[in-house]
Structure 1
Amino acid sequence: MEQERLIPTSESITVEFKSDHKSPLGEKELVLAAICLANNQGGDLYLGVEDDGAVTGLHPSRDRTKDLAAVIASRTNPPLSISATTLQEGGRELIWFQVPPIQGSVFSNDGKALIRALDAKGKPICRPMSAVDVLRRANQQREVDWSGLPAAGATVADLNSAERDRLQAVVKRHRGEASLLELGNEELDLALGLVVQGADGSLMPTHAGLLLMGHEAPLRRCIPGHEVGFQVLQGTEVRVNRFLRGPLLAVVDEISQRLEPFMQEQELEVGLFRVPIPNLPSSCFRESFINALAHRDYTALAPVTVQWNLTEGMTISNPGGFVRGVTLSNLLTAPPRSRNPVLADALKRIGLAERTGRGVDRIFEGLLEVGRSAPSYARSTDDDIVVELSTRPANLQLVALWQDYQQRQGQPLGLLSLLVLHLLHEQRKLTAEQLSEQLQRDPTLVRRHVEQLLEGDLVAGQGQGRGRAYTLSKRVYAAFDQADAYRQQASLSPEEIDRRILELAARGEALRRKDVLEALSGLESRQATYALQRLCSQGRLIPFGSGKGRRYQLPP
């Protein structure tokens, strides 16, 4: 059998290939390549591989005894600590450098810096790092609060007193901090960080101050990246298409007004109660939109966009990826972090944003409790955060089950229980340990919620002891009109799925997801995906390749 390739087949934002075939790569170029990766996310640098992925190996004259990792550390500022490993790939020798992401920015000793980026065609490149890149990176890593810095060239005359009146009205309407209403204008601006005092005692607007209370002309001049696009689509027809560059509170008011004619509700009778089911919960929109405004990268020349396709759902995107410490996998558990702390704090204190910093929780809870799928952040990248909110018809049978549970138990399901039910719908069958691992919550807490759902006949248990697994109950599957799926889950436990996948892998051939689906009758595509990911995270399988060419093998 042909040996599986161990290294990536193509370059990416975290993978760089450098040729050493025709002549040894110069140390200066090697140092800059490492700097380029470190100034983004870090990644893997392979010496001895061509740009097209062909492995050509090291040049015969290269000094194999030289410590290239030490060379890179000695020629970077601050010193870049990386590891270097010699590999054999396809019978040729190459060097693999593991470049970690760093705090701040790294330069060569002669003051040069590159940063990994994508060109207009989506191809990874190393480009010169600008002063804006350095500021943006410091802001991303929460070393500098851009929103709290004085806006260059702005004066207090650029602040609009009418917007201060609007801000005070927001405090009253959304029950913000009542003490803010007792302050004078200057005291209010200072308390919210909208102005700062200069060395001479004069007041200067901060970026947050301009964004909340600035006239439009100085906003355009001082913060050219600020813009908000709002579109409503019905099929191919554009019902609304507006781009706004005014102060944030005015923008929020205008978009809310334009959104209102499209907001609809239907009522569901559950026992003696009538439950309103909106096509888009207003709290979900507000939290998603305010999050985009509060946490976007204002140094980027790109707008926040709100696009509502009335037949599918709403998409809200903002420039700037997740700040350090926040990822797709820990969105619901990471401590609240902001790219713009002064701006985010002001929005919380006036009542427009979730004060506890758990706005994402409210978005998930709001959609799940009205019988819709969870919000998706899957399209987010290093440069943009994208959230998709489903407005497809709600599953009213599910809502009836949730409401019936609430009436019988005397309390709502709550976010954690809704997430447990969502995961079981996505992955069919999981143990309490697997649920707690994926939810990143305390196992005892998760087990308690699962047992409550079991008592409420929303979840069914199978097996005993540590191997006990859970599925959605028969009545919940009936709400999804998936009675056959319930019968399939009753016979295929997670342990059985893992065991049979490992048996397939033990045959010695590289395993594909297609092979798993063919071998395990009744297994769904997403179940196979999750099972393979689970076995890889446990170190019981090793993945190779990417996309449709991805294969899996047992560890050596």
Structure 2
Amino acid sequence: MDAETVRGLITGGESLTTEFKRGASGKFNDTELVETVVCMANGDGGVLLIGVEDDGRATGTAPRHGETTDPRRIDALIAGRTVPLLQTRTTIVDLDGHAIIAVEVPKSPRVVGTRSGMYVRRSLKLDGTPQCLPFPAYEMLAHEIDRGALDFAALPARGAAMSDLAPSEFTRFRRMARAAGSDPVIPDMSDLDICRALGVVRTADDGVDRPTLGAVLLFGTPDAIALHIPNHEAAFQLFDGMSVEVNSFTRAPLLAAAEDLYQRVSSWNREEELEFGMLRVAIPSVPPTVVRESIANALVHRDYTALGPIRVAINDDSFEVTSPGGFPPGVRLNNLLTVSQPRSPILADAFRRAGMVERSGRGISLMYAAMLRLGRDTPDYSQSTDRMVRTVVPLGRADIPLARFVLQQEQKAGRPMRLFDLQVLHELRAQTSLSTGDIAEQLHRTIGEIRTGLGRMVEEGLIEQRGAGRGRSYHLSAAVFRAMDKSPAYVRVRGTDAIQQERMVLQYVESFGSITRAQASELCMITPQQASTLLRRMSRAGKLTLVGERKSARYVPPTDTDSNH
């Protein structure tokens, strides 16, 4: 770690990942150092800066090892006094003549304590400043499960016996596996062998096979589930405006709960019809793949140490599935389509063998493709938090012309259209013309991936390229517009490209001093969303400056100060 990095951390102030400690002799001893590092490791990790006051003043630290401070001895001290052993990286940084000790603390997947038995975790006070609090045992369990260090389904169900598992649930599992063809061996196994294959039974010291919590969740009787996993519950709610038509709760085992929820949604699921030559293709409000994967994901990936049911709710505008607990470790909004990391590998494996989820871990990708293929918007996870995952599937009308075109292409190619192609077609259908950077931002992919995919789509005649270099943009091809009976729209796209739109906007601003999104939309004959994209692009390029917020937001000519930046 260098002085510039330390200076930046100090400027940012104390946070969950940055801690300041006074470094004068006797003010911050070895015991306090180890406890602070343990606290940070049980949070998100971070950097401990010794020799910095609470107000951010760098005052330096006295030597800790005779006349000097040895970073290796600090790391050895921490490793020797933590359980499990914690590996830190310490650097001595000279900051304006003051010696600052910078200890880089990793985020630990396991709960870390001191050898003397001190367990603390990082938290924020009401005023937003960080603190270290005692780490209760029940929070430690949730911590390790959430970080993937433990599988909840592998934990022993204290006092449970094989008699607490319902034979009918094993029969259900065999039936599902046979129907899906997902595991040819499962249908011929005994109940005990199924538990062994799934890893949900343990042989106790007395030689008796005893079920784990995973076995109770998958096959348990209602009484066993209530006793051992009281947090498990699933709710189905159907709304008509503000009134509740259905409000049903169940504590059934997971596979039974999944089937029940799927059947309830299927009985509601409305359909539109698409005429395709002599055929009529049904377009459901929510594709079965989306229903199945979203329900299964909620049951498999929820945090079973947290209170609250998973909830499947249908209202006038959306189909929603919520589950307690944030995303599994490593999963974020911007990598949902590329990272598959189950909170419980045991439960995920059981659902795959039962044919309830996609076996390769591409469930969310299949959900996206199913929605886009039918001309509908993709599932929205943006309202998820660290305590809840919320999947919202909008129920707006399908884009029938786009769906018809996709089905025609798939029939011609003899295979499903690529998810990338579906995403690009959907974005260009909504925003007319986009640059490589705009598409990369929308799809959360690298520029290299986007360029390769767009080049292939141009060759296949799905999209067309305009301009060159940084001014290059893409729009739907004439063939796509023609297939969707939108030939006049193609003429408008070709007639008013991005460069012409920018010229029109700049001329308007020069004449009238500013422009709003609505004015740009009317001026360029584009949608408000397309106008927002255009104005933001011009602002990033330094051609305009945004002033005001929301309804008062408008774009004005850049000032000299803006130009200098």
Alignment TM-score, normalising by the size of structure 2: 0.74
Task: Give the distance between the partners of 1:231 and 1:202, measured in 2 at CA.
Answer: 42
Between 401-410 and 148-157, report the one with greater CA deviation. Answer: 401-410
Structure 1 contact 231–306 (Cα < 8 Å) conserved: yes
Structure 1 contact 17–49 (Cα < 8 Å) conserved: no
Between 317-326 and 26-35, report the one with greater CA deviation. Answer: 26-35
Which residues of 2 match residues 460-499 of structure 1 at below 5 A? 460-464=464-468, 469-473=473-477, 490-491=498-499
Task: Give the distance between the partners of 1:528 and 1:149, measured in 2 at CA.
Answer: 55
1:452–1:250 distance in 2 versus 1, CA, 3 Å: same
Task: Give the distance between the partners of 1:129 and 1:105, measured in 2 at CA.
Answer: 9
Is 1:165 equivalent to 2:171 in the alignment?
yes
Is 1:342 equivalent to 2:349 in the alignment?
no
Cα deviation 1:291-335 (Å, max 9, x = unaligned): 121122222233322222232x1222223333333332222223x
Aligned position for 1:431 = 436
Q: Per-residue deviation at 1:290? A: 0.4
Aligned position for 1:544 = none
Helix, strand or coil: the match of 1:412? coil
Task: Give the distance between the partners of 1:426 and 1:102, measured in 2 at CA.
Answer: 43
Cα deviation 1:465-494 (Å, max 9, x = unaligned): 798543344756969989877766532899
Is 1:211 equivalent to 2:217 in the alignment?
yes
The counterpart of 1:372, out of the listed 369, 376, 395, is: 376
Cα deviation 1:486-534 (Å, max 9, x = unaligned): 766532899x9xxx9xxxxxxxxxxxxx9xx99xx98854577789999
Aligned position for 1:540 = none
Aligned position for 1:395 = 399
Task: Give the distance between the partners of 1:482 and 1:186, measured in 2 at CA.
Answer: 64
Structure 1 contact 416–449 (Cα < 8 Å) conserved: yes
1:393–1:42 distance in 2 versus 1, CA, 3 Å: farther
Q: Per-residue deviation at 1:258? A: 2.7
What amino acid is aligned across from residue 74 of structure 1 in structure 2? L
1:436–1:310 distance in 2 versus 1, CA, 3 Å: closer
Task: Give the distance between the partners of 1:427 and 1:189, measured in 2 at CA.
Answer: 54
Q: Per-residue deviation at 1:11? A: 6.5
Helix, strand or coil: the match of 1:429? strand
Q: Per-residue deviation at 1:88? A: 8.1
Is 1:333 equivalent to 2:345 in the alignment?
no
Aligned position for 2:388 = 384
Higher CA-based Rg: 2
Between 364-373 and 374-383, report the one with greater CA deviation. Answer: 374-383
Helix, strand or coil: the match of 1:460? strand
Is 1:459 equivalent to 2:463 in the alignment?
yes
Cα deviation 1:351-383 (Å, max 9, x = unaligned): 112122211111111111111222222233333
What amino acid is aligned across from residue 213 of structure 2 in structure 1? H
Between 315-324 and 521-530, report the one with greater CA deviation. Answer: 521-530
Cα deviation 1:155-183 (Å, max 9, x = unaligned): 11111112222222322343332321122
Aligned position for 1:110 = 116
Task: Give the distance between the partners of 1:7 and 1:299, measured in 2 at CA.
Answer: 37
Aligned position for 2:305 = 299
Q: Per-residue deviation at 1:286? A: 0.9
Q: Per-residue deviation at 1:185? A: 2.7
Aligned position for 1:232 = 238
What amino acid is aligned across from residue 369 of structure 2 in structure 1? E
Task: Give the distance between the partners of 1:247 and 1:471, measured in 2 at CA.
Answer: 49
Aligned position for 1:288 = 294
What amino acid is aligned across from residue 38 of structure 1 in structure 2? A
Structure 1 contact 289–316 (Cα < 8 Å) conserved: yes
Q: Per-residue deviation at 1:101? A: 1.8
Structure 1 contact 148–208 (Cα < 8 Å) conserved: yes
What amino acid is aligned across from residue 57 of structure 1 in structure 2? R
User: Structure 1 vs Structure 2: percent identity of aligned residues?
Assistant: 30
Which residues of 2 match residues 30-429 of structure 1 at below 5 A? 31-43=34-46, 48=52, 55=55, 57-58=57-58, 71=74, 74-75=77-78, 77=82, 78-82=85-89, 98-117=104-123, 126-311=132-317, 313-334=318-339, 336-422=340-426, 424=428, 428-429=433-434
Structure 1 contact 36–114 (Cα < 8 Å) conserved: yes
The counterpart of 1:26, out of the listed 16, 28, 32, is: 28
Between 115-124 and 262-271, report the one with greater CA deviation. Answer: 115-124
Q: How many residues align?
A: 508
Cα deviation 1:62-99 (Å, max 9, x = unaligned): 7797578964762451234145686989xx99987654
Alignment TM-score, normalising by the size of structure 1: 0.75
Structure 1 contact 150–206 (Cα < 8 Å) conserved: yes
Taking only aligned residues, the RMSD between alpha carbons, in angstroms, comes to 4.8
Structure 2 contact 40–122 (Cα < 8 Å) conserved: yes
Task: Give the distance between the partners of 2:88 and 2:275, measured in 1 at CA.
Answer: 63
What amino acid is aligned across from residue 317 of structure 1 in structure 2? T
Bigger relative CO (Cα 8 Å, ≥ 6 apart): 1
1:33–1:79 distance in 2 versus 1, CA, 3 Å: same
Q: Per-residue deviation at 1:30? A: 5.4
Between 75-84 and 57-66, report the one with greater CA deviation. Answer: 57-66
Aligned position for 2:545 = none
Q: Per-residue deviation at 1:154? A: 1.0
Q: Per-residue deviation at 1:147? A: 1.1
Structure 2 contact 337–365 (Cα < 8 Å) conserved: yes
